[in-house]
């Protein structure tokens, strides 16, 4: 087992609620110059969950599962910042009100701009939820460290999920990490240059159809763990040759220029000590037995 400081990690209970679907109420323009009005961020999304394709939906920036927020009218203020910052991938989220009371879901990441965290619940639970219901997140993971791998940095990752990711030491301070896809640095777009990765996400650009086919980006699913090649996320989102970052896909493909499937970072290194290995089941649905892999 890989040694961590998990016993020293702080755990908060943070209350939130489902956030209604959002739309600016006007036309958006695709990277091909085509106007569109489509479903977008937010909501209790009934028919989309982790394990489903991130491509092919009649939507833009679609968030699977339940998009949660503290105050939908003040998304960039306290306490919603705390919800974003402290909620980590794999955290449990328990419903504490209404018909779905005591149901448990899992945080799959956070989406910058909408300032939601995204929680996967089975459809039968989502059918019982309302936008007035309260959800408590067992927020833990920020500050998690790999004690024997000081050059590999962790963000936004529940310690219990880390233990389930089948990460393998391969010598010389390196770790093999299962991913479904290796994404070339040139494809990383919206969100590049952010000062840190402890909240929000950044997008895999999909406007170049040749690159999409070459790297099979259109096979990406919600909840996939992916490798962002030559990207250093230690102190923000930056290009660095040889660096590797690992993230999880939290929203759908997009039509806007500079956008595409969104990725929340969970691991990064400025050198090639992270060794991504391709495995089709490197998805949180497969790891936790949720979403389309439930049962």
Domain ranges (residues) in the chain: 9-140, 153-293
**Which CATH number describes the domain made up of 153-293?**
2.102.30.10
pLDDT at 158 over 90: yes
In a 10 Å sphere around its CB, with 0-12 CB exposed, 13-18 middle and 19+ buried, how is residue 9 labelled?
Answer: middle
Share of the chain above pLDDT 90, in %: 98
Q: How confident is the model at residue 291 (pLDDT cuts 50, 70, 90)?
A: very high
List, in sequence order, the alpha helices (H) in the chain. 80-86, 123-126, 159-162, 209-214, 284-288
DSSP label of 180:
S
Concatenate the DSSP letters of all residues of 66-88 into one string: EEEES-TT-TTSTTHHHHHHH--
Task: State the Cα–Cα distance between residues 23 and 62, nearest whole angstrom.
Answer: 11
Q: How confident is the model at residue 170 (pLDDT cuts 50, 70, 90)?
A: very high
Task: State the Cα–Cα distance between residues 52 and 33, nearest whole angstrom.
Answer: 28
pLDDT at 1 over 60: yes
For the segment 129-140, what is each residue's pLDDT rounded down to a tens digit?
999 999 999 999
**pLDDT at residue 232, rounded to an integer:** 98
pLDDT at 295 over 70: no
**pLDDT at residue 2, rounded to an integer:** 93
Task: State the Cα–Cα distance between residues 78 and 92, nearest whole angstrom.
Answer: 22
For the segment 59-90, what is each residue's pLDDT rounded down to a tens digit?
999 999 999 999 999 999 999 999 999 999 99
The mean pLDDT value for 211-231 works out to 98
**pLDDT at residue 264, rounded to an integer:** 98
Return the residue matching tokens 């595409």: 260
**pLDDT at residue 292, rounded to an integer:** 87
Q: Establish whether the linkage from the previous residue to 79 is cis, with ω within 30° of 0.
A: yes
Task: State the Cα–Cα distance between residues 5 and 269, nearest whole angstrom.
Answer: 18
Q: What is the mean pLDDT of the chain?
A: 96
For the segment 232-277, what is each residue's pLDDT rounded down to a tens digit?
999 999 999 999 999 999 999 999 999 999 999 999 999 999 999 9
pLDDT at 99 over 90: yes
The mean pLDDT value for 218-225 works out to 98
**pLDDT at residue 294, rounded to an integer:** 57
pLDDT at 116 over 60: yes
**pLDDT at residue 115, rounded to an integer:** 95
**pLDDT at residue 202, rounded to an integer:** 97
List the structure tokens of 191. Answer: 């969100």
Task: State the Cα–Cα distance between residues 70 and 181, nearest whole angstrom.
Answer: 33
Concatenate the DSSP letters of all residues of 186-204 into one string: GGB-TTTT-S-SSS--EEB
**Which CATH number describes the domain made up of 9-140?**
2.40.10.170
The mean pLDDT value for 166-185 works out to 97
What b/e readout covers 34-69, taking b as 16+ CB neighbours within 10 angstroms?
A: eeeeebbbbbbbeebbbbbbbbebebbbbbbbbbbb
């Amino acid at each position: 087992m890989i040694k961590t400081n998990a016993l020293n990690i702080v755990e908060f209970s943070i209350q939130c609620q489902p956030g209604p679907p959002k739309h600016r109420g006007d036309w958006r323009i695709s990277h091909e110059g085509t106007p569109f009005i489509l479903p977008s961020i937010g909501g209790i999304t009934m028919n989309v969950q982790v394990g489903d394709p991130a491509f092919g939906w009649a939507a833009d920036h679609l968030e699977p599962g339940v998009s949660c927020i503290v105050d939908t009218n003040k998304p960039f203020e306290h306490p919603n910042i705390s919800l974003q910052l402290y909620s980590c991938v794999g955290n449990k989220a328990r419903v504490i009100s209404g018909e779905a009371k005591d149901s448990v879901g899992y945080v799959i990441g956070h989406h910058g701009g909408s300032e939601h965290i995204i929680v996967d619940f089975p459809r039968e639970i989502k059918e019982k939820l309302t936008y007035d219901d309260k959800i408590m997140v067992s927020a833990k993971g920020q500050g998690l460290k790999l004690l024997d791998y000081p050059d590999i940095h962790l963000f936004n990752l529940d310690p219990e999920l880390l233990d389930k990711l089948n990460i393998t030491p391969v010598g010389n301070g390196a770790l093999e990490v299962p991913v479904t896809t290796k994404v070339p640095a040139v494809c990383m777009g919206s969100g590049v240059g952010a000062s840190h990765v402890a909240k929000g996400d950044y997008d895999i650009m999909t406007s170049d159809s040749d690159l999409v086919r070459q790297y099979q980006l259109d096979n990406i699913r919600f909840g996939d763990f992916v490798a962002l090649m030559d990207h250093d996320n230690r102190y923000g989102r930056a290009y660095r040759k040889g660096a590797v970052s690992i993230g999880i896909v939290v929203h759908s493909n997009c039509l806007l220029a500079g956008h595409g499937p969104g990725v929340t970072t969970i691991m990064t290194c400025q050198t090639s000590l992270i060794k991504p290995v391709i495995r089709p089941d490197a998805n949180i649905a497969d790891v936790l037995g949720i979403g389309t892999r439930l049962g």
